[in-house]
Structure 1
Amino acid sequence: MMIACMDGQIARGAVAMGFQPWVPQQENNWEIRVVMLLSLLFQVLLIFLGPMRKRSSSPLLRFAVWSSYLLADWVADLALGLILNSMGVIGGGGSSSPIIFAFWTPFLLLHLGGPDTITSYSLEDNELWLRHLIGLLFELSSVIVIFGCSVRGNPMILATVLIVVVGVIKYCERTYSLYRGSIKGFSNNMPQRDFKPRVSYSSIEARAFDIFRLLQPFFMEMTISTQKLKMVWDIFRDDIKPSKALKMIELELNFVYDIMYTKAAVAHSRAGWVLRFICSGCIVSALAIFFSHDKGGMKRVDVSITFALLLGALALDVAAMAMFLFSDRAAVFLQESRRFKWLGRLTSAERRVWRPRRWSETTSRLNLISDCLGEPQHHSTWRRWLMMAKMRSIAKKLRDLFFIWHKKQLSDPEEEEELPPLLDFIFRGVKDDAVECRSDMRKIWGVCNSRGERVLERLKSGIMNSRDYEWLMRSVKKDDFDEQLLTWHIATDICLLDDGGAEELTKRRRLISETLSEYLLYLLVKQSEMVSAKMGVWLSRYQDTRDHVKKFLANQGLDHDGARRQLQGRLDSVDRRDMSVLFDAIHIADFLMQLPQGPRWELVSGVWKEMLTYTATKCRATTHIRQLNRGGELITLVWLLRENMGAGELQLAKISSGQPG
């Protein structure tokens, strides 16, 4: 095929100086120019949108990343096909394309290699690394065919070869990164058995990176040795401040994200840095060759597109190098290196000025009563009321209509403490659990499986009699966790009629209880895979409970507080057999409302803390990791915090298998 193509060129006698096409340039090749620019555009979008997805839970952003990720490869393949089709003999017809199109072809190979900030959209994409490798053979063969057909009349042979080298490197980098993020690749790159952490640490990033290396098998749901577990606890330290502890957890999850979803496995290796300089050098050389060459035979639009492709490739390379230079992984290397310590100080100063989020730092929330009140009725009065209401009321009703909203609970600028109250509350609770487990390893099973029993046991004296204690204990030991969650969610919502009193601590516990109650209900309904494998059963129970509450509140024109008052103390109006969840919730709320505000919210917040940690521990590691490219979840931080402090599933597995702690 290549020989026939070259013979055709000789027959046409089109060998000339400059950019003279071997056949007259076609006017109908505009689609090639368009798709080349589109391919470059998608690379620009992906390099900047890719890192944003770990910092945002916005569905719109996820859609933008997903569509750009899919269209980038599709457009590059389309452009390659169009160029092949325009190459005269290869296309099976008499038409051909200008030689400049042959120079553009290796840029498509470069684009198929993708930007450094995103290699896979989901974990499942990593498992397709072998298919991606086979794809390289087909793409490269197409580039070679096009290059061979244009070699006799192409004055840009050297520049084309340079871009081919860059394209092959980029494509191989992406394939290797996909392999490293796959189960097989991740498992084959575990730290050696004799891996030992540093004796001392100059940065929190280095401590987090060593813990990440030690816990690598755990992220793939494998067990790790007791010796490595103790190393993790020694690095994390019991006396660590809450703010530093949460930062270390964020760093560890960020290292996991980089390995699973970016080219970090390549970029932060010695070979990776060498390849970066080779690629940049090749692009600069190709740019210099094109800049110095006579372009008299080219259309102005083709000159502009070629410069855009060259400068775009160089800019993307520089941007990727800058992003990785200021990354957490680079900070570990630079701050531990003697030769580049000055650069480490520079990047540290930059991070102190500008601190990008490592996850969304938001909690999505769902309220059952808001859901019931917010569903539109099948009559026009709802729309008429919306039109007449004030803007504030419209916003509130719309919030209730969609009933799930993102509320910035974790970064209140008015809080002057090291950590927002919610995170501080969770950290101290997990730390208490870890201390209890260290003092008696036999308690680890109870700590990991408690859903409110431990706080009830601790607070039972003085605030409840034995009968109330036994009845409440049954409510947190239900066989079905979803039933317990729904029951306590409704009970907590009814108790919110009380403003929490004057004490600051009580008000905080009240707010924490409300946040965790609505957050866990959101996980149950919208992220059911994080709570249980029985998604259908859980959703069915939620829908049944919602229907019962909606039926109970029907046709009364109530707002949220009015609905709470309507539910409070109405046990006589609820059928226990048909509405068991609602009946138990009202019963619990009635008991809680009789308690003093301090003990009440201490009890409720403690129950929700135990339900949160129970859910975090029972969720699979791979399910947690899947959330990292969607902005992350608070429950994932709780999960890894427990493992770091020795109060999680890893320690439970050691005790269950009979290994010493």
Structure 2
Amino acid sequence: MVQVIPTHIKDAWDKWNIRGAVILSLSLQAILICFSPLRKRTPRRLLIMLVWTSYLLADWSANFAVGLISKNQGKELKPDDPPQDKKLMALWAPFLLLHLGGPDTITAFALEDNALWLRHVFGLVFQAIAGVYVVLQSLPNSLWVIILLVFISGTIKYLERTTALYSASLDKFRDSMIQAPDPGPNYAKLMEEYKAKKEARLPTKIILIDEPDKEHRPKKLEHPSLALKKTKLLTHLEIVQYAYKFFNTFKGLVVNLIFSFRERDESLEIFENLADSEEALRIIEVELGFLYDALFTKIAVLHTFIGTVSRIVASGTLVAAFILFDKRPKKDIHFQHSDVVVTYTLFAVGIALDFISILLFLFSDWTYAALRSLKENPEEVLSSRRDKFFNWLLGLRELRWTKQVCKHECTDEGKKPCIKEGDGKCSIEQEHEVLTTPFFLRRWCGSINVFNFIAYATNAEVVRIHDARGDFRRISWMIISFPFEKLNFIIQKVFGYILDLINDVHRWISHRVNALSRNHPWARLTIYPIYFEFISRIPYFIISVWDILSEFFDISDTLDIVHKTLFVHGEPMTKELWDFMFEELRNKSKYGDSPENARRISLARGEWTLRENLPEDAEREKLVRYVTKVDYDQSLLMWHIATELCYQQHEEETIPEDTDKKHEHYSYREFSKIISDYMMYLLILQPSLMSEVAGIGKIRFRDTLAEADKFFQRRHIEDKKSVKIATENILNVNSKTDPMSVKGDRSKSVLFDASRLSKDLTEMERTHGKDKWEILSKVWVELLCYAACHCDATAHVEQLSRGGELINFVWLLMAHFGLTDQFQINKGDARAKLIIGK
């Protein structure tokens, strides 16, 4: 009989399969507890892939190991079988139950995992049965007390995970926030009294006293500490306390619950009176952290009374089991040295991971919020040593801003504050504060991914406006990216050479076969049909098979996405950009005093800004139609290309001469560029966040890209890889006539519609004297807000597990300012009185 697997490999597997599976399960637990918290700080695919594979393999490896142990315990060892310590392996089974409980830092990889809580209940039952079976097969066993203690610890950990999944499943999450049924005032009793009075012929009438509306009720907040002053800076502890308060209020956004005007006014009062916009950013990032913890980890469950007690019991029983195992009578029990080492490893690593979990538990934001509530007196700050200690610890994770100077190309040569460069060009310097919080102290990634259409179409090098990377990261990226760029270049050249060679060989053979067929009839009947009907079609057959396979397995789409990611880079969040967006939303919140107005503002995607900042005339309506007469995805792509066309051009006569206004002009220009490229990144590479508003954005992108490629080839600029040259050529095309009236509407390209828009913006600037960059930046904020409030709430939450995005912050900021349609309870119960006349 032929042995497929060599004997020495089979023997090694039989000897080490159980031990290897147990160590693998332990290693996966260590990876999860150490790396899973990092996924909310970075969107790096390598880290996400590591956590994903570890999460999937963790349960499989533990189940597999339990199966091997139970199989081993149920059979009699033969003389040629490897030695097995059944009594010691019976101790490993509850350890695997402990591993199935999972680390505190991750219970669900995705929201869908929470819906599988019932599967984990059945898993607990069957794993417990398997563990009991293993122990019974090992009896009599002097380690039964130790086994029992570890079994208790593992069962508690598994119950914690199941409870966390249960409470985070969307249905249960919604049920936990729904209040008791409210029947309203007792209508039947009131009408019975009214009827009795009428029958007694008393002059009775009903007067309704409505609950005061927002316009008539006094601005009285529920908690005295909410009465903030604009001059008062919040402490780090107060930031966490407010975040926890608003988390408990607005977590209903995830399951599309509606809120009352009281909750809206309370949040609005706080955010309107914050000392600066940075405090809003800090509150929201902590609030989003609470939301992530509640839906993806055990932390929310552990910070209850029962959860805290269960954790103390679970950790205590594990430590007690280790002490008893270490102090067991050595002379009475003889185990293999390798199995003893594995057991000690299980205890040591298990206790170490438990200690890490306890540290994460104690120093999480939940602990500070649970132990210290908001002060009754807002002036009473850090009154105790404990408060000061908590505030100091939280201060370690505050936002870090680094001042960075960036240069903008300018045409005002010789005019202050412009600076003459060595190459003869003139530039203006601006100082910005970029977010540079250290990686392990972040609460989110802190950067804005951007993607530029014209840079992608021209294969131009991506230029960063700000670069917060250190020298090590910058050099490392250059070293890593250089081989990929060269490899891509070599592959393109090799494939091009192969295709040219195949075409040349085909032409030569075709010529020879045709000549041979004309001179020899036998060749016409044999060689000619064989070659032209079979051999020459092989390349086309291979291409057809490749097209079918790539379509079936989405290979082409995957390669396309990989190619696009090469043109994505992260711009660090700047304090000035956040200030600008915060002030825009705060100003709009003043108009959202009713659900109707708030809904109208949240539905605006540029027309609000255009109509508020431009006089009512034909020029204004010409710009408004670019947002009101087109779909959102079409408007997004059109305004993005128009922004880039304007960004690459410099009109000297439109740049303000005043220094402050010049800095303001370039700030608006920078804001427009960043948000524009960010929205294109969301539309093309984050379809889950834009699914509600994307429409046929993918088709529009492809058609526009095809038209751009065709245009660049005709102008012979496809190899110049210059965004500036490309934009100049696009703007040089006469686009006064509507492209649709010339080309028809089959193609969804918006390339020259964007060109018309950029020219209309420039004309508006010259006609009305309004800075087009101020208009553009505010339009882009509206477009971002429209996407944020129309994105599905679960997509926002899912993104928190991949580093978070700026759109998640805008979504929650809009809710805090009441700019959403989920504030629908505008009036409370009416109070009715029976009035009896004389």
TM-score interval, smaller chain: 0.7 to 0.9
5 Å-filtered alignment, 1:356-505, equals: 356-374=441-459, 402-410=565-573, 420-438=575-593, 442-461=596-615, 466-498=617-649, 503-505=662-664
Name the residue aligned to 2:679.
520
Shift of 1:135: 0.8
Name the residue aligned to 2:195.
none
- Could you say what secondary structure the match of 1:636 adopts? helix
Instruction: Identify which of 163, 180, 188 aligns with 2:167.
Output: 180
Shift of 1:307: 1.3
Cα deviations across residues 60-112 of structure 1 (Å, max 9, x unaligned)? 11111100100111111111111111113399999683121111110100000
Does 2:329 match 1:329? Answer: no
Q: Is residue 106–residue 163 contact of structure 1 (8 Å, CA) maintained in 2?
A: yes
Consecutive unaligned residues of structure 1, counting only runs of 5 or more, are 1-24, 385-397, 412-419
Name the residue aligned to 2:151.
164
Cα deviations across residues 545-578 of structure 1 (Å, max 9, x unaligned)? 1111121112422311111111113135965535
Q: Which runs of 4+ in 1 moved over 6 A?
A: 90-96, 375-382, 398-401, 657-660
Name the residue aligned to 1:389.
none
CA distance in 1, matches of 2:384, 2:641: 55
CA distance in 1, matches of 2:605, 2:387: 45
Name the residue aligned to 1:586.
755
CA distance in 1, matches of 2:126, 2:595: 57
Which structure dedicates a bigger proportion of its chain to strand? 2
Deviates more, 1:525-534 or 1:451-460: 525-534
Residues 479 and 151 of structure 1, relative CA distance in 2, 3 Å threshold: same
Residues 471 and 569 of structure 1, relative CA distance in 2, 3 Å threshold: farther
Does 2:33 match 1:47? Answer: yes
CA distance in 1, matches of 2:391, 2:702: 50
Q: Is residue 218–residue 224 contact of structure 1 (8 Å, CA) maintained in 2?
A: no
Q: Is residue 520–residue 612 contact of structure 1 (8 Å, CA) maintained in 2?
A: yes
Residues 354 and 474 of structure 1, relative CA distance in 2, 3 Å threshold: closer
Shift of 1:446: 2.7
Residues 84 and 497 of structure 1, relative CA distance in 2, 3 Å threshold: same
Does 2:338 match 1:301? Answer: yes
CA distance in 2, matches of 1:26, 1:632: 46
Name the residue aligned to 1:316.
353
Shift of 1:535: 5.4
Q: Is residue 55–residue 632 contact of structure 1 (8 Å, CA) maintained in 2?
A: yes
Cα deviations across residues 224-269 of structure 1 (Å, max 9, x unaligned)? 2333333333444544521111111112111111110000222111
Name the residue aligned to 2:309.
274
Structure 1-normalised TM-score? 0.85
Does 2:300 match 1:145? Answer: no
Instruction: Identify which of 21, 45, 66 aligns with 1:59.
Output: 45
Instruction: Identify which of 777, 780, 787 aligns with 1:605.
Output: 777
5 Å-filtered alignment, 1:82-161, equals: 82-89=68-75, 97-98=84-85, 99-152=87-140, 154-161=141-148
The aligned amino acid for 1:209 is Y
Q: Is residue 595–residue 821 contact of structure 2 (8 Å, CA) maintained in 1?
A: no
Residues 382 and 565 of structure 1, relative CA distance in 2, 3 Å threshold: farther
Name the residue aligned to 2:188.
none
The aligned amino acid for 2:44 is S
Residue correspondences, number: 606
Residues 26 and 480 of structure 1, relative CA distance in 2, 3 Å threshold: closer
CA distance in 2, matches of 1:378, 1:83: 50
Cα deviations across residues 414-438 of structure 1 (Å, max 9, x unaligned)? xxxxxx1211111111101111223
Q: Is residue 225–residue 374 contact of structure 2 (8 Å, CA) maintained in 1?
A: no
CA distance in 1, matches of 2:564, 2:680: 17
Shift of 1:382: 6.5
Q: Is residue 295–residue 303 contact of structure 1 (8 Å, CA) maintained in 2?
A: no
5 Å-filtered alignment, 1:203-282, equals: 203-282=238-317
CA distance in 1, matches of 2:812, 2:730: 38
Residues 635 and 324 of structure 1, relative CA distance in 2, 3 Å threshold: same
CA distance in 2, matches of 1:36, 1:477: 62
Identical positions, percent: 32
The aligned amino acid for 1:484 is S
Q: Is residue 98–residue 154 contact of structure 2 (8 Å, CA) maintained in 1?
A: yes
Q: Is residue 599–residue 821 contact of structure 2 (8 Å, CA) maintained in 1?
A: no
The aligned amino acid for 1:245 is A
CA distance in 1, matches of 2:349, 2:828: 59
Structure 2-normalised TM-score? 0.67
CA distance in 1, matches of 2:323, 2:23: 21
CA distance in 2, matches of 1:538, 1:508: 29
Q: Is residue 107–residue 164 contact of structure 1 (8 Å, CA) maintained in 2?
A: yes
Residues 478 and 580 of structure 1, relative CA distance in 2, 3 Å threshold: farther
Residues 505 and 295 of structure 1, relative CA distance in 2, 3 Å threshold: farther
The aligned amino acid for 1:623 is A
CA distance in 2, matches of 1:138, 1:430: 54
The aligned amino acid for 1:562 is I
- Could you say what secondary structure the match of 2:781 adopts? helix
CA distance in 2, matches of 1:528, 1:283: 46
Shift of 1:383: 5.5
Name the residue aligned to 1:619.
791
Q: Which one has the largest radius of gyration?
A: 2
CA distance in 1, matches of 2:682, 2:673: 14
Higher relative contact order (CA 8 A, sep 6+): 2
5 Å-filtered alignment, 1:4-23, equals: none
Does 2:819 match 1:647? Answer: yes
Deviates more, 1:117-126 or 1:518-527: 518-527
Residues 93 and 67 of structure 1, relative CA distance in 2, 3 Å threshold: farther
Name the residue aligned to 2:176.
189
Name the residue aligned to 1:349.
392
Cα deviations across residues 416-468 of structure 1 (Å, max 9, x unaligned)? xxxx1211111111101111223x6653233111111122112223xxx8332
Q: Is residue 326–residue 347 contact of structure 1 (8 Å, CA) maintained in 2?
A: no
Q: Is residue 88–residue 97 contact of structure 1 (8 Å, CA) maintained in 2?
A: no
Q: Is residue 116–residue 262 contact of structure 1 (8 Å, CA) maintained in 2?
A: yes
Instruction: Identify which of 551, 563, 570 aligns with 2:733.
Output: 570
CA distance in 1, matches of 2:669, 2:63: 56
CA distance in 2, matches of 1:379, 1:276: 56
Q: Is residue 367–residue 403 contact of structure 1 (8 Å, CA) maintained in 2?
A: no
Shift of 1:317: 1.3
- Could you say what secondary structure the match of 1:530 adopts? coil
Q: Is residue 699–residue 748 contact of structure 2 (8 Å, CA) maintained in 1?
A: no
CA distance in 2, matches of 1:348, 1:538: 47
Cα deviations across residues 514-539 of structure 1 (Å, max 9, x unaligned)? 11111111111122232234757221
Name the residue aligned to 1:416.
none
